[in-house]
Structure 1
């Protein structure tokens, strides 16, 4: 029997990823032909972080691809609201099919943020370049850039490699947004997909050594060095977690009903797929040697990347 449900996402009641996932519980396990009327309340004051808006987009796009009919509407709408203008600028309404006339002039966002974007094997390198540009021009120290250059490339590749049960590079797709917040001296990056999730990715590959892990065990162990389903070295999430501890930022992974938040396993509202969230402090340096050791080739790789893409960074802006 087909269902029709109504869901409200009220940003006056949401202040975290967990809050948002809880508000979207009714959008899980819908079938082809089901209908969703999704009301979004952006009224009020205060910043709505872009990573929250991206998660709504990712969930809605997943529903549409699965044959669920979704109608998105704004309630308590105020066209002059800073929240509305910000959501519009990062292409939130465009993805949801809500047509609004923007009452502002768009400025060049390069080096400051990336709008909500879907990535796949055809545009992944362009997305990677744009993230690195934000990191480079906003004061992240070069040692930490060396680590981030490796880690972010690995996380993006994980989506293309592991999000799909096909276990084929490029079969998976994801969403990303990144932004520098100068007052807080931090960069927030979220990379999310609505694929099979960490547990299935680790346990269902025929060559995996981790077929017997429970969901909680899979999420908990995914940041251990060497934990992989055989389609990689199991190094990317480990290096990311190590770096974020030393940076005193945040690194959160959501998959299924489990979340790893700064290394602590937490039961959370369910997410079908995988979310990687990083909050990076731009004024707390991390030495790449602490992560990779003295004899790493990561620094040379980063220097080659920076020179090939950006030349003399001091003359860019």
Structure 2
């Protein structure tokens, strides 16, 4: 805070030296004080205004800290505030985040996203109960924030230090302005490319190949340390790259290119794709997310004969069928990219064969391939497509990709699929 600019505003959570003390006050018997009752923080006279008194031990609603002098001295810090009041943290109108944001409870995640999208004012999020965020939660919330920040301010209050550090490590806050989060004490980063991919935005087709390679490396991890040019085995004619990462890269590149192509239909020329991935060693599980903010499956496939009913749920089911969303020939020239339309199908089969599955949300439809379950989310919507992938890493070597590829190759030139797609 610039001392020469005493009129500037400061969020509570941006004062690391006093944030913990303020939080303890919010959970103390001061909640029983009358509206506007003065108290002292150290030797500084302050006034707390509560929109209303809240029962229990949670933080109060609608807080303003006032100082008659316009200056707060906390320890060795000198923080200048407006003479009249510090900017309010309007907890009363905050959107309360659930315990977890991710594929464990996708309905909760997308209910929050719908609430954020429909909020007519600046966004204030209460993260006091939030304990868990996985790749689906990160990628989806990042896509949501990038959209909202073009016209609103976004503040996250009471985010724990552990989650702040974790989300920062995954580049969740990179290049966006989220208020209320203290990023001043982050540690050194280590290269963990064999176990995670930080949140990455894809907005050009040429980025898909590099992104697919990074995802495949994080998914396979220690299963392969070879590069594409490593010597091949004299018996199989393949190296480790060909056996493990190559097949995954192929299906993921197909999926990413198709996601970007179809997201930009129906006039959404600025749509993008966000990816992230992490291996959880204690669970031996890989989780990956691929999220776009485009038009969604139904808008893309509404004329396709495989869509039996014009609902988001049926559009997702159709998209999981081989070649439903392929771009070849004249259509590829129109859309700017060509793919076989097998990326989603093959990725779902890889996940299933390795003990996992996909959770797919588009519009108000949701489909879980592992549970073979489809449903509609009512008023909860995602204007685009969000895909959560999970698998057991150690099961990947048991999979033959060639056996998982669609058997109906009608319309594909012989030799067009020249990659020996086999994990074994």
Structure 2: runs of 5+ lacking an equivalent? 1-89, 225-239, 332-338, 408-413
* Matched position secondary structure for 1:180: strand
**Match of residue 314 from structure 1:** none
| Contact 1:144-1:288 at 8 Å conserved across structures | no
Which protein has the bigger helix share?
1
* CA deviation after TM superposition for structure 1 residue 172, in Å: 4.0
Q: Which has the higher contact order (CA 8 A, sep 6+)?
A: 1
**Match of residue 285 from structure 2:** 186
Task: Provide the aligned C-alpha RMSD in A.
Answer: 3.3
Structure 1: runs of 5+ lacking an equivalent? 304-317
1:265 lines up with 2:374 in the alignment = yes
* 1:234-245 alignment, distance < 5 Å: 234-245=341-352
**Match of residue 159 from structure 1:** 259
Query: Alpha-carbon deviations, 1:161-186, whole Å to 9, x = none?
Result: 10012689x86411110111111112
Larger Rg: 2
* Matched position secondary structure for 1:93: coil
Q: 1:107 to 1:145 in 2, by over 3 A?
A: closer
Which protein has the bigger strand share?
1
* Matched position secondary structure for 1:161: helix
> Which whole-Å CA distance do the structure 1 matches of 2:126 and 2:251 have between them?
34
* 1:55-74 alignment, distance < 5 Å: 55-65=140-150, 68-74=151-157
Q: 1:13 to 1:49 in 2, by over 3 A?
A: closer
> Which whole-Å CA distance do the structure 2 matches of 1:278 and 1:217 have between them?
20
Structure 2 residue corresponding to 1:23, chosen from 112, 115, 120: 112
> Which whole-Å CA distance do the structure 2 matches of 1:242 and 1:109 have between them?
27
> Which whole-Å CA distance do the structure 2 matches of 1:26 and 1:70 have between them?
15
Residue correspondences, number? 287
Structure 2 residue corresponding to 1:199, chosen from 295, 298, 305: 298
* CA deviation after TM superposition for structure 1 residue 194, in Å: 1.0
* CA deviation after TM superposition for structure 1 residue 302, in Å: 6.5
* CA deviation after TM superposition for structure 1 residue 214, in Å: 0.7
1:248 lines up with 2:355 in the alignment = yes
State the TM-score, normalizing by the size of structure 1. 0.77
Bigger shift: residues 258-267 or 90-99: 90-99
> Which whole-Å CA distance do the structure 1 matches of 2:362 and 2:115 have between them?
17
**Match of residue 20 from structure 2:** none
> Which whole-Å CA distance do the structure 1 matches of 2:155 and 2:176 have between them?
6
* 1:1-317 alignment, distance < 5 Å: 6-12=93-99, 14=101, 15-28=104-117, 34-41=120-127, 47-65=132-150, 68-75=151-158, 77-78=159-160, 81-94=161-174, 96-98=176-178, 100-121=183-204, 122-139=206-223, 143=243, 145-165=245-265, 172-203=271-302, 209=305, 213-215=309-311, 216-228=313-325, 231=331, 232-262=339-369, 263-268=372-377, 269-284=380-395, 285-292=398-405, 300=419
State the TM-score, normalizing by the size of structure 2. 0.59
